């Protein structure tokens, strides 16, 4: 009989024989068969569509030859295969909401609507669109399906590629902004039902723009690829990473709310992304800042979490970059404060609100002033002194740091020229200012206008100026030395270090960052060894060394013991107004005696704020005097027995279970059951917080953490009979003053 119908007969006979049946096909007129076979064979060869058929048991009894050849070399191998085993539901793609699973449709024995199925055979994956109609005999019994199929593999592949392009960043292969935020929204919705938490990190690369501008956009693209690869290795299977655009990234971390774990991961990300990169044969160094927010603690909806993480990131960048921050409600007020700073800073120069203060740098042996560091201060006409930690990062971001830097160089040169001694003054130079094309001309003009001797002006430059074009930086150093000014390398070793540039950079001084001075007296701390190594390196390169941030007597002894020749820090003097410093110069008071605490205590921070204290069903207001990872000093309750159990409410859902270890009058020393962890800044926080899901279970609507809701949950609203007498510390202070 030949053609399609003959193959159908053979296939059906093969299946019937396997079932032990011997029923022959009904006789068909030869002429009809030939015409029909010719028509159908022509259709099959054109590949406009293929035919398939199954028996009542759901087994394949016929498949067009061209279709079978796509699956296997021997078509007989698939005859008799169950349809649900051959045609698989395409779970990888987005199913139409009206498309039901193939197994369900086959079981219903109704017409098969056009359905996309997947075929996996011999390491190949094909996608077909199949449809079919049920067959019934004269008795109405179901006899299988006959249907048509067509190959849509290329179409599906194109759709998948387009879908991937719409979801993933073409440069790095990471999720793009749309996909990662869609994933965040879907995750938060599902997790609200399951009462689970989810952390989000926002990352911003520090000084990436400088690399992009100096090395070119292709180098910037290559750098972003390497950053994404490092991020992927660090995060691993803990979460999903997305690139939001430019040099911004987002990390989604399901089921993590332990801030010790989040802080450790943030530190590792910052550390690893700050290591040097090799880009097109050149060396590039960048940094990273991280903001962290956790749902539902910091917000319920994805928009709230992104906003919270963004505020935390902004705080990390404002704190000096290369840091992480957890979100807290205080950051909202800080963001408003920062916006006001940005508005007012543009007028600060015009209103002459900026002024220079000077901090002495003394010799290690005589404690005599040998140099001063000029530090910019902003004396706001309405709000008083504003910290440079607040306005310098803003100046860098809004693009007026060059104007501020030029003003500083001119002002310092003018003042130093009038001093009665030959003491030099150091001026901080930002990387942005140093990168400007006219920087050397600015320095030359300031020297000429003031008439000051060039060797009395010292430019303090951080290692970040070597990011990008190192050769340009070295050329500028050479030209500045020809001008006659001194050069100091500031904050050496704080994350952008390379010994290679020290071979050619003509620095006169190397400043040891205070982060290495801190803790150099502690047993087991490597900071002392680092200080010693930096001193030896500077000596070998004929440089002076200044130990920054010395605040205690034991730190002073340690850095001198390690060989530092110059000392700077609050132990001798803080930065003082110009008039005060000039008075000392005029009177010849050049010796500064060390005044400060004997020992450095790394684990204790001075505090003075009101916090809540919970004992049984009562809540007290007490003052937190100092705070460490393992305990705190509180004041406000009278004669509390040692061993009393308390819960210290530090705000923001932070409850620290504690026990009284020392007690005297209205002052108690308490020890924490679980140590606190760093908050990424100079503060401490609890690892865990009260869960908003607990508050919801108590009858309140689900929302981000609220102090009133936390107090209500603890059952301590101050209405119960109290076990201890509260002391009015304000009244005691007034009596002492009287």
DSSP state letters, 118-178: EEEETTEEEEEEEEEEEEE-TT--EEEEEEEEEE-HHHHHHHHHHHHHHHB-TTT-SB-HH
The per-residue pLDDT for range 42-100, each reduced to its tens digit, is 666 666 678 899 999 989 999 888 888 888 877 778 889 888 888 888 766 544 545 67
- Model pLDDT, residue 381: 86
CATH number for the domain whose boundaries are 3-159: 3.30.450.20
Please state, for a pLDDT cut of 90, what percent of the chain lies above it: 46
Q: How far apart are CA 709 and CA 66, in angstroms?
A: 70
Neighbours of 313 (CB within 10 A): 25
Convert 707-725 to b/e letters by CB count within 10 Å (16 or more is b): eebbbebbebeeeeeeebe
Sign of the C-alpha dihedral, residues 564, 567, 568, 572? positive
Mean pLDDT of 292-317: 94
Residue for token pair 């020809």: 482
At the second CATH level, the architecture of 604-737 is: Beta Barrel (2.40)
pLDDT digits (tens, 9 = 90+) for 685-719: 999 999 999 999 988 899 998 888 888 877 655 45
Q: Which residues of 439-468 are buried (b: 16+ CB within 10 A; e: fewer)?
A: bbebbbebbeebebebebbbbbbbbbbbbb
So where are the chain's domains? 3-159, 168-328, 353-587, 604-737
Give the H/E segment covering residue 38: helix 30-46
DSSP-derived letter for residue 702 is: P
Cis peptide before 736 (omega within 30 of 0): no
CA distance 401 to 378: 14
CATH of 168-328, one of 3.30.70.270, 3.30.70.20, 3.30.479.30, 3.40.50.720: 3.30.70.270
Q: CA geometry: angle at 676 spanning 671 and 679, to 5°?
A: 150
Please say if the pLDDT value at position 432 is more than 70: yes
Q: Please check the confidence at residue 25 and state whether its pLDDT lies above 60.
A: no
Q: Is pLDDT of 669 > 50?
A: yes
Question: Residue 322: what pLDDT?
Answer: 85
Contact between 695 and 709 under an 8 Å Cβ cutoff? The reply is: yes
CATH of 353-587, one of 3.20.20.60, 3.30.2130.10, 3.20.20.70, 3.20.20.450: 3.20.20.450
Q: What is the DSSP letter of 499?
A: S
628-660 core/surface letters (b: 16 or more CB in 10 A; e: else): bbbbbbbbbbeebeeebebbbbbbbbbbbebeb
**Percentage of the residues of the chain whose pLDDT score is greater than 70:** 86
CA distance 326 to 653: 13
Residue 457 φ then ψ, to 5°: -115, 125
């Amino acid at each position: 009989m030949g053609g399609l119908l003959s193959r159908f007969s053979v296939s059906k006979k093969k299946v019937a024989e396997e079932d032990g049946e011997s029923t022959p096909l009904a006789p068909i007129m030869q002429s009809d068969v030939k015409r029909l076979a010719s028509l159908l064979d022509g259709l099959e060869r054109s590949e406009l569509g293929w035919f398939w058929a199954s028996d009542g048991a759901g087994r394949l009894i016929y498949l067009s030859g061209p279709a079978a050849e796509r699956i296997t070399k021997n078509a007989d191998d698939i005859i008799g295969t169950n349809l649900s085993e051959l045609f698989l539901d395409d779970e990888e793609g987005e199913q139409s909401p009206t498309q039901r699973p193939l197994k369900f449709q086959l079981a219903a024995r109704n017409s098969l609507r056009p359905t996309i199925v997947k075929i996996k055979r011999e390491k190949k994956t094909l996608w077909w669109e199949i449809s079919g109609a049920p067959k019934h005999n004269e008795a109405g019994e179901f006899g299988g399906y006959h249907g048509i199929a067509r190959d849509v593999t290329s179409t599906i592949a194109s759709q998948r590629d387009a879908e991937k392009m719409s979801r993933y960043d073409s440069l790095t292969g990471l999720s793009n902004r749309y996909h990662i935020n869609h994933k965040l929204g879907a995750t938060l919705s599902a997790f609200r039902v399951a009462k689970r938490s989810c952390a989000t990190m926002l990352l911003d690369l520090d000084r990436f723009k400088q690399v992009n501008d100096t090395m070119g956009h292709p180098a910037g693209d290559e750098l972003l690829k390497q950053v994404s690869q490092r991020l992927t290795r660090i995060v691993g299977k803990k979460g999903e990473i997305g690139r939001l655009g430019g040099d911004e990234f987002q990390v989604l971390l399901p089921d993590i709310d332990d801030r010790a774990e989040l802080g450790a991961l943030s530190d590792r990300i910052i550390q690893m992304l700050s290591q040097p990169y090799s880009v097109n044969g050149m060396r590039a160094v960048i940094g990273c800042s991280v903001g962290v927010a956790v749902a539902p603690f910091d917000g319920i909806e994805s928009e709230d979490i992104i906003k919270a993480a963004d505020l935390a990131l902004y705080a990390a960048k404002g704190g000096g970059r290369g840091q992480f921050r957890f979100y807290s409600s205080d950051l909202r007020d800080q963001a408003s404060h920062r916006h006001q700073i940005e508005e007012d800073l543009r007028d600060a120069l015009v209103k002459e609100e900026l002024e220079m203060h000077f901090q002495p740098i003394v010799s290690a042996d005589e404690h005599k002033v040998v140099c001063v560091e000029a530090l910019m201060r902003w004396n706001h006409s309405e709000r008083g002194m504003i910290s440079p930690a607040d306005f310098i990062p803003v100046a860098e971001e809004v693009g007026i740091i060059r104007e501020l830097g030029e003003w500083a160089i001119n002002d310092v040169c003018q003042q130093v020229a009038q001093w009665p001694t030959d003491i030099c003054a150091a001026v901080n130079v930002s990387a942005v200012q140093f990168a400007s094309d006219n920087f050397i001309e600015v320095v030359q003009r300031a020297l000429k206008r003031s008439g000051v001797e060039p060797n009395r002006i010292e430019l303090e430059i951080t290692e970040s100026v070597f990011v990008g074009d190192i050769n340009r930086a070295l050329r500028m150093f050479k030209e500045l030395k020809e001008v006659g000014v001194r050069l100091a390398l500031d904050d050496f070793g704080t994350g952008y270090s390379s010994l290679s540039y020290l071979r050619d950079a003509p620095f006169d001084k190397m400043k040891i960052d205070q982060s290495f001075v801190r803790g150099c007296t502690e047993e087991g701390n490597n900071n002392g060894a680092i200080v010693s190594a930096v001193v030896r390196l500077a000596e070998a390169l004929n440089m002076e060394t200044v130990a920054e941030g010395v605040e205690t007597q034991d730190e002073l002894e340690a850095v001198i013991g390690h060989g530092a020749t110059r000392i700077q820090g609050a132990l001798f003097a803080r930065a003082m107004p110009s008039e005060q410093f000039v008075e000392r110069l005029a009177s010849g008071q050049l010796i500064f005696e060390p005044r400060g605490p004997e020992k450095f205590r790394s684990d204790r921070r001075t505090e003075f704020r009101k916090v809540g204290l919970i004992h049984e069903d009562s809540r007290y207001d007490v003052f937190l005097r100092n705070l460490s990872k393992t305990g705190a000093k509180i004041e406000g309750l009278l004669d509390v027995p040692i061993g009393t159990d308390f819960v210290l409410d530090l705000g923001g859902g932070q409850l620290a279970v504690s026990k009284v270890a020392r007690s005297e009058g209205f002052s108690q020393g308490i020890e924490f059951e679980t140590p606190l962890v760093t908050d990424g800044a100079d503060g401490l926080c609890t690892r865990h917080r009260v869960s908003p899901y607990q508050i919801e279970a108590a009858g309140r609507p689900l929302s981000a953490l609220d102090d009133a809701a936390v107090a209500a949950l603890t059952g301590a609203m101050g209405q119960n009979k109290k076990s201890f007498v509260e002391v009015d510390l304000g009244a005691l202070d007034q009596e002492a003053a009287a």
